Amino acid sequence: IMKAPLIPLNEDFKWKLLSEILNVFDMRSCRQILTRRGILPLQKSVPSIKIVLLSMFFSCEISYSIRELKERESLRNFLKIGSVPTENEIYGVLSKYGPEQFSYFVFELLNELCPKRKNGSRGIIIDSTDINLNLNFHAKKITKESLENKEYKWGHSTHRGFFIGMKLTLALDSQTLKPLAFLINEANVPEPKIYPKILEELKRKRIIRAGDIVYADRGYYSYENYVISVREFKVVPLIFPRKNCNFKKLFNMLRYPLKIFDSRRNTEKEIKIYKEIIAKFKELISKWKEFRSVRSIIEDVFKLAKKAYSMENLHRYTRSSVQKYCSLAVLLVGMTVNYGIKERKELQAFSE
């Protein structure tokens, strides 16, 4: 297939957006974060990350981006890079840093760029999507057994059918659509099991607060997850219920934990918080259908990551490289919504 040449056009919206995103890497605050996270030396890490983002943005291989950069002075000027590194140099630079360094950098940068959270309760949307690793399993049969020691597994998703890969779970702020946290799991880990893990991650990052509302589709449904949300995390779990949900049984399970009667705690205050959360939960879960549009916006965000930012099929085969790649995709998504592309129509149009 003939690939479109990468010619920066000032009047093209996509190039304008990419320009905004890449300019961030020349900001002092961004360079300070990279330095703090040890993603050094900057004269190597910054051009490498910019080239990877360029390839993701236009869904092309890194090798193609390098060829285009060597050929076009206008593209080198656009990326503000003098000498073009080789593909091996870029992979060498990226493999030097751990996946955690990357995630910390991405979320620190997003916190710097995106509006801060206001006081009061916030809505958090949680959803998972499949990461298909581009393995040619039609050429040779890949059995479950042959994946025993691999970090990727067979999985099944409604729109893709069977695939080999991993699962990305993302938490977004329901107001701003800012990415808050993500997890990578093997493809065969069921969603109800992922739910407490992503809440744990949000708690570890001190993002979740008592009274926050968590929106999740019925893939995460289990009585256990409603109970954990209230007792362990003090959040209102708006997990869409299944048809056979017995609300009477569920409400009876929502007791506050005995540890609140611990003498060191302000028991009255704790009981008040739990009562408010349970009351809020009962009120919202009775009209959960009204919140479908809130939850479904995350599907458009995933579509953006997959279609616009080449997460559809990844040529990455270790959890570490998938996590770094996902960090950069999350960064692109965060910067895109921060740039003002937040409405469903806009997100969908941008993903086409």
pLDDT of residue 202: 97
Bigger pLDDT: 330 or 139?
A: 330
Q: What are the pLDDT digits (tens) for 317-341?
A: 688 888 998 899 899 999 998 987 7
In this prediction, residues 202-229 reach a mean pLDDT of 96
State how far the Cα of 173 lies from the Cα of 114, in Å rounded to an integer. Answer: 11
Using an 8 Å Cβ cutoff, are 314 and 132 in contact? Answer: yes
Collapsed DSSP state (helix, strand, coil) of residue 40: coil
pLDDT of residue 147: 59
- CB neighbourhood size of 297 (10 A): 19
Q: What are the pLDDT digits (tens) for 173-182?
A: 998 889 999 9
Amino acid at 20: E
pLDDT above 70 covers a percentage of the chain that reads 91
In terms of average pLDDT, the best of 268-272, 276-280, 317-321 is: 276-280
What pTM does this model have? 0.90
pLDDT above 90 covers a percentage of the chain that reads 59
In this prediction, residues 61-77 reach a mean pLDDT of 96
pLDDT of residue 146: 64
Helices (H) and strands (E) in the chain, counts: 14, 7
Please report which confidence band the pLDDT of residue 316 belongs to, taking 50, 70 and 90 as the band edges: low
Closest CA to 173 of 212, 229, 227: 212
Using an 8 Å Cβ cutoff, are 220 and 195 in contact? Answer: yes
Within 8 A by CB and 6+ apart from 203, the residues are: 233
DSSP states of 55-92:
HHHTT--HHHHHHHHHH-HHHHHHHT-SSPPPHHHHHH
Query: How confident is the prediction for the chain on average, in pLDDT?
Result: 88
Beta-bridge partners for 171: 126, 181
Please report which confidence band the pLDDT of residue 139 belongs to, taking 50, 70 and 90 as the band edges: very low
Give the residue carrying structure tokens 């010619």. Answer: 7
